[in-house]
Amino acid sequence: MLILDEAAVRKLLRMQALIPAMERALRALSAGEVVQPMRVIVPVAEWGGFLGSMPAYAGGNLGTKIVTFFPNNQRVPTHHALVVLFRPETGEPLVVMDGRLITEMRTAAVSAVATRLLARPDSSVLAILGSGVQARSHLEALRLVRQFREIRVWSPNNAAKFAQRFEVRLARSAEDAVRGADVLVVATTSRTPVLSGEWLSPGAHINAVGAVRPEWRELDDAVLANAKLYVESSEAASRESGDVIAAGTIFAEIGEVAGQTKAGRGSAEELTLFKSVGVAVEDLASAELVYREALAA
């Protein structure tokens, strides 16, 4: 059995390969080709975190991710995880690998799939609300599917360092970042809305990846009322996302758009919203890429 730490995963996993792998995985999920129970959550109330178990069986891959999310962490990442793959014929463990980087990268890769399918082809201004690992990973991924002439970042903390490091524009406020943007990423640990619908330009596309608990929100009511909503899994999003629960109506799963069974953007003025909660098939497909590259190395 292989054991791969984060450094090993970093050497083996590439965003260019991960984006199409996520599209294939989500297409299979929406086509009913994946066995994927709902995520099991164990709250750790005294520290404000949780432990999650995410099993799945898909395309000959059998495995699970065990993940912790502690949003109050300051000197260590908010997410930690392990992904385990098993031989589906016998149940034998094949590999255990660090899943923190997988979680970071596959989340951004899925947003890139949604952006490729839903954002206007001429989108040129990207706004990122947040300056943590998801902001960094989304910057890498979205640049692979759209050409941006301007990129803005805002967050309550560390935005200036992020802007300097990645040579993007530091916005004075969330509103300053959002006004006039074509593509948005909302990637904060906020439990209350940080994006206001009144700031949005016609035709904008939003990738929202935070607020993954039923009682948390990162989008205000105006966003939800005016945007066409897409998700990874209707079942998961309807139970885990406070924003989706508040919206009440899901237009389609992004895998249905990839499989051409549901429509994408209807017009240049339409607002589109992809709300991600993260699902197990994404982790399995990512881990399978890593495992295959490790065997070939």
Do 64 and 142 belong together in one domain?
A: no
Task: Average pLDDT across each block of 10 residues of the chain; the chain has 297 residues. List them in order.
Answer: 97 98 98 96 93 95 96 89 97 97 97 98 98 96 98 95 97 98 94 96 97 91 98 96 96 98 97 97 98 95
pTM of the model: 0.95
Helix (H), strand (E), coil (C) string for the chain: CEEECHHHHHHHCCHHHHHHHHHHHHHHHHCCCEECCCCEEEEEHHHCEEEEEEEEEECCEEEEEEEEECCCCCCCCCEEEEEEEECCCCCCEEEEEECHHHHHHHHHHHHHHHHHHHCCCCCCEEEEECCCHHHHHHHHHHCCCCCCCEEEEECCCCHHHHHHHHCCEECCCHHHHHCCCCEEEECCCCCCCCECHHHCCCCCEEEECCCCCCCCCCECHHHHHHEEEEECCHHHHHHHCHHHHHHCCCCEEHHHHHCCCCCCCCCCCCEEEEECCCCHHHHHHHHHHHHHHHHHC
Do 28 and 84 belong together in one domain?
A: yes
Structural domain for 284, as ranges: 2-103+280-296
pLDDT at 71: 85
Do 131 and 240 belong together in one domain?
A: yes
Do 132 and 197 belong together in one domain?
A: yes
Do 271 and 138 belong together in one domain?
A: yes
pLDDT at 157: 87
pLDDT at 39: 94
Do 82 and 221 belong together in one domain?
A: no
Do 27 and 174 belong together in one domain?
A: no
pLDDT at 297: 84
Domain count, the chain: 2
pLDDT at 212: 81
pLDDT at 53: 97
Do 268 and 194 belong together in one domain?
A: yes
